[in-house]
Structure 1
Amino acid sequence: METIQKTASDDTIEASAPELKNRGLLLTGLIIAMLFGALDGTIVGTAMPRIVGEFGGLGLMAWLTTAYMLTSTVVVPIAGKLADLIGRRVIYVTGLIIFIGASALCGMSQNMTELILFRGLQGIGGGIMMPMAMIIIGDLFTGKQRAKWQGVFGAIFGLSTVIGPQVGGWIVDSLNWRWVFYINLPVGILAVILISIALPKHKAVGNVKFDIPGIVTMIVGVVSLLLALTFGGKDYAWLSWQIIGLFVLAIVSLVSFVMIENRAQEPILPVRLFKNRTFTTINGVGFLMAVGMFGAIMFVPLFMQGIVGISASASGTVMTPMMITMIVASIISGQFIQKIGVRKQMLLGMIIMAVGFLFLGTMGMTTTKLLASSYMMILGLGMGLVMPILTLALQESFPKSELGVVTSSSQFFRQIGGTFGMTILGAVMNHKSSVLLEQNLTPVVKQLPAEASELSNQLTNMIHTNPQALYSSLLSPEALAKMPKEFVQHLLPILKDALVSSLHLVFTIGLVFVLLGAVLTLFIGNIKVSDRKPKKDDAEKDAELSTGLA
């Protein structure tokens, strides 16, 4: 263990209770930081074609997203624990400064390798920023007030998803792709100033004990697991030595992490938390919800492009109605929870999500954009009812001394669940498609004339390696317009039939994960949303936590 001396101050975290004088200023800073941090993910996506056009490196393009995802995911639980140990302000401002500095470096990048490295650094700042807003909301407000404000912050996150592509497109077209990153500088500096002024320092006496072995083993384990899930079945076969090696490294590292955490005085993610029914159940619901949600809705734009026949750029807009209903539901969820309670609202939201997946599984050749959008709105309604109260329920169930850890754990398990879902359902999609295309498309491909041998080889290879890319490249209106009519007549029905059948299976499995999450909500205890002010020490909750009965 390494130790450093904590900085003492006359202000304590308790000063950030509801009577805080600068609460309005602090909330403004939190909202600004949340908005520009959340916008970054969707804005950057619109700049990728321009980036590749300038730097080349098409094969490395996926790393612009992967590098950010890896670092932002792994740093979340570390940030939560450090916020408990050395205070909210120093951790939050550090994350903001890292994010701002990395954004500037991204904008100044001269090649793809530099940009990927700086995106990874930016992910560290983003991974610190995202849970800190919810942690501070837990400090600022009573339980009932938290419900409202966490719904508002959830709505801000959803809003960023809606406006991000439009803002990014405007920046790229009007200025330069580098301004997608530079725009973070003035906004981020304003957030740093507001939060530094309004958020009190944390008073602490004694030494902070950093769990360095735990941090190292967790980083190695989580990064290895995420890399294996990200590249398995795409860049490398599941049984390749690269993927097997990553899984083995992940298992060894995570087992070592658990052993280290059992002995650590200040563990990053205390193992004893997993003995607590509330902790495991709520994070289990969040994990299962994310598996189904992120793993299935990523395929809706593919359906809209391949079956409905809209352009690749326009297919992303089908997600907007879902995000709008999620925003509305997030805002009203704070008021709704007062009437029906945590468990009932969580169950209701999961059931509504299940209904949305059920309808998605009925989409076929005649489905219109309007109908698909209405199904997505149902899904968004369920998401908006569930997502804000996952964090709220954890904060209400644990003492103040654990607030950072349990709050960050909620986001951590959801991010892991999203990656797991995209991997599992992506593998299901590819396997089902490969079987159907091998049966029905391969005989047609073999009948192509000799002058089309290059195309025939490409199609055969994509059938076995990447059916999703096959759908995207051949079923778009732009691609179909360039193909001979006879070829389209033979090819199109087979491709569409395989895509619909594969997506039906994907949405069905997504439905199963959501239903499992709904069943798990039945085991959540009777969590009451309190009206009392947060306290640093809560003897009753500490006793429950230690016995694992909460």
Structure 2
Amino acid sequence: MSAIEGTIVSTAIPSIVGDLGGFSLYSWVFSGYLVMQAATVLIYGKLADLFGRKPIFIYGIVVFLIGSVLCGFSTSMEMLIVFRFIQGLGAGAVLPIATTIVGDIYTLEERAKIQGFLSSVWGISAVVGPVLGGVLVEYIHWSYIFWINVPLGILSIIGVLKYFKESIEKKKHKIDYFGSVFMLIAVLSLMVILVQGGVKWAWTDLKTIFFLSTFVISAILFFFQEKRASNPMMPFSLWKHRLIALANTTSLTTGMLLIGISSFLPAYVQGVMGYSPMVAGFTLTTLSIGWPIAAFLAGRLVIKIGFRNTAIIGGAFLIVGGIFFVMLDPTKGPIWAGIGSFIIGLGMGLTNTTFIVAIQSSVDWKDRGIATASNSFMRTLGSTLGAALLGGVLNNRLQEFIKENNMDDIISIDAANLLLDEAQRNVLPESSRILLQEGLTLSLHSVYWGVASLAVISFLLTVFLPRKKEDDHKY
């Protein structure tokens, strides 16, 4: 349900915009969902530790399904965005707690293999999602891309109610309400800044300054609240655990790296190489094929050679993939880009699966929910941060190129959008088209240097992971 949601909406969004209008709000269909998911994931993780996985998981699915049904009934883009916020509010509980449940019911040896199997879901969804979305949009209606979640969600609820047994100690829990509120406000403010800052709002805009100030104040209040709370929402002692701190930091950098590929590779294949959206989609699909293959292998490698060595191999694949993209040029074609994506997928599969299994094996049941959620949060934060930073690199480099060629009075950065549509690209004057393609090539090359740098940082972080489990310390 979660995996298909990530791919099926992307396919249908042009039809949704065509039906509802509101193209200027296009990005918030995705951002609204992402912001609420990121803002609530840590809270749900902690609540799952206090009250058990089952009630929080089922609550998350129910909210997600309510949001899905409402999305299908939207009659304007504003309504759709509000309902996507509701979907995201439920999604914050769905995937992290599902992963936590796996950590609860399987041993270390079994857990490594099962996490590999679960990762294959993302690979399958990367292929099924766009195809299913295309069929529903073309032959039925775009609303069904949201309503298809309903039977999947109901099956999940039935399965968990019937087969998942957990025994929770009956006692009155002291909930850190202030910590929850401060964290929610801080994360929401940060996400809005990362999504809007430098894109829709200038960094000196009053709205940007307001949300930045709100983030800083809320973060400070959250810090002091957690220091004094008897049962803190986010135990800082968790971050004293060397393995968890390094795994989460690496998830932040790999999240930034991943968004650098998934967001900007289609622009290169379509705008610079001149291929169709379908070909551009193929170059990303290879990443989703490499990921589950590597995740499956990681489940076996973790048992044989340990967490650190498996993560290091994954980090090495990320560097090799980064080199492929640094060397990418229009003459190499989409096959080269697809191979680079596949190698990045191998690196992501090896590192991501290893980190989840390692983190869950390093904490007790009472902290497994928040520990797993912290890793999900850091990866989501990395994706949002990466989109903002690498998007800024792209825009600044393209603006510089246009100025260097004394074309800033004739064309703007937005003219690069014309390269992504074949019909509009073909009616561009040849001189303008060549100039824009050259500028986009150089700009994306700068982005891929950023991706390669993040791959190197990720690799170095894996090197510092504890050599053996006993080398780490229990927090």
- Range into which the TM-score falls when normalised by the shorter chain: over 0.9
Equivalent AA in structure 1 for residue 49 of structure 2: D
Matched residue, 1:545: 474
Unaligned runs of 5+ in 2: none
Deviations 1:189-228 (A, max 9, x none): 1211111111124422221222111111111111111111
Matched residue, 2:169: 204
Among 430, 436, 440, the residue aligned to 1:495: 436
For residues 55 and 200 of structure 1, what CA distance do their matches in structure 2 show?
A: 44
Among 360, 371, 374, the residue aligned to 1:406: 371
Compare 290-299 and 349-358 and name the one that shifted more.
Answer: 290-299
Matched residue, 1:172: 137
- 1:286 maps onto 2:251 in alignment: yes
- 1:360 maps onto 2:322 in alignment: no
- 1:270 maps onto 2:230 in alignment: no
What secondary structure sits across from 2:332 in the alignment?
Answer: coil
Deviations 1:86-138 (A, max 9, x none): 01111111111111121111112222222111111111111100101110111
Instruction: Give the superposition deviation at 1:285.
Output: 1.1
Matching of residues 471-550 of structure 1 within 5 Å:
471-474=416-419, 476-483=421-428, 487-488=429-430, 490-528=431-469, 544-546=473-475
Q: TM-score, normalised by structure 2?
A: 0.96
Q: TM-score, normalised by structure 1?
A: 0.83
Instruction: Give the superposition deviation at 1:72.
Output: 0.7
Matching of residues 20-169 of structure 1 within 5 Å:
36-169=1-134
Unaligned runs of 5+ in 1: 1-35, 447-455, 530-539
Among 346, 350, 353, the residue aligned to 2:311: 346
For residues 295 and 381 of structure 1, what CA distance do their matches in structure 2 show?
A: 16
What secondary structure sits across from 1:367 in the alignment?
Answer: helix
Contact map agreement 2:419 2:437 (CA 8 A) in 1: no
Deviations 1:360-387 (A, max 9, x none): 0111131211121112111111111111
Matched residue, 2:353: 388
> Percent same amino acid at aligned positions?
32
Contact map agreement 2:183 2:219 (CA 8 A) in 1: yes
For residues 318 and 522 of structure 1, what CA distance do their matches in structure 2 show?
A: 30
Matching of residues 180-219 of structure 1 within 5 Å:
180-219=145-184
Matching of residues 221-370 of structure 1 within 5 Å:
221-370=186-335
- 1:437 maps onto 2:402 in alignment: yes
For residues 518 and 480 of structure 1, what CA distance do their matches in structure 2 show?
A: 39
Equivalent AA in structure 2 for residue 480 of structure 1: R
Contact map agreement 2:254 2:455 (CA 8 A) in 1: yes
Instruction: Give the superposition deviation at 1:296.
Output: 3.8
Aligned residues: 475
For residues 406 and 281 of structure 2, what CA distance do their matches in structure 1 show?
A: 28
For residues 261 and 298 of structure 1, what CA distance do their matches in structure 2 show?
A: 36
Compare 87-96 and 101-110 and name the one that shifted more.
Answer: 101-110
Contact map agreement 1:295 1:423 (CA 8 A) in 2: no
Instruction: Give the superposition deviation at 1:471.
Output: 2.0
What secondary structure sits across from 1:210 in the alignment?
Answer: coil
Instruction: Give the superposition deviation at 1:477.
Output: 2.5
For residues 441 and 357 of structure 1, what CA distance do their matches in structure 2 show?
A: 32
Equivalent AA in structure 2 for residue 359 of structure 1: F
Contact map agreement 1:305 1:472 (CA 8 A) in 2: no
For residues 17 and 340 of structure 2, what CA distance do their matches in structure 1 show?
A: 34
